[in-house]
Amino acid sequence: MAELKIERIGGIAGFGLPRSHLRSRGALDYDLLSDADKKKVQKLFAAGGAKDSPTMRDGFVCRITWQSDDDNRTIEVPEALVPRALTATIRDEIE
């Protein structure tokens, strides 16, 4: 069983950055994704993320961690490239 954990980082408010009290997090079982979204996630992890893609000023980056029994891998990707099924799980928190 694999779980995807996602954090939204950046933006004007600096979500998730050091000294920030704002956190945006979510999680989803990988098996619940559609086949198309699974392919997108696999492609992002195979590429090691997508840091060189176009982003907007003060835009968000998503840190995605793929947790399985065998391995934990983490990448960072501009939010626009993350499947909607995964970003829909994100909830804002104040710590």
**Residue with structure tokens 């961690």?**
65
Closest CA to 47 of 25, 68, 77: 77
Mean pLDDT in consecutive groups of 10 residues from the start of the chain, 95 residues: 90 69 91 97 91 64 93 92 96 86
Closest CA to 52 of 25, 81, 32, 30: 81
> What pLDDT score does 56 carry?
63
* pTM (predicted TM-score): 0.85
> What pLDDT score does 22 carry?
81
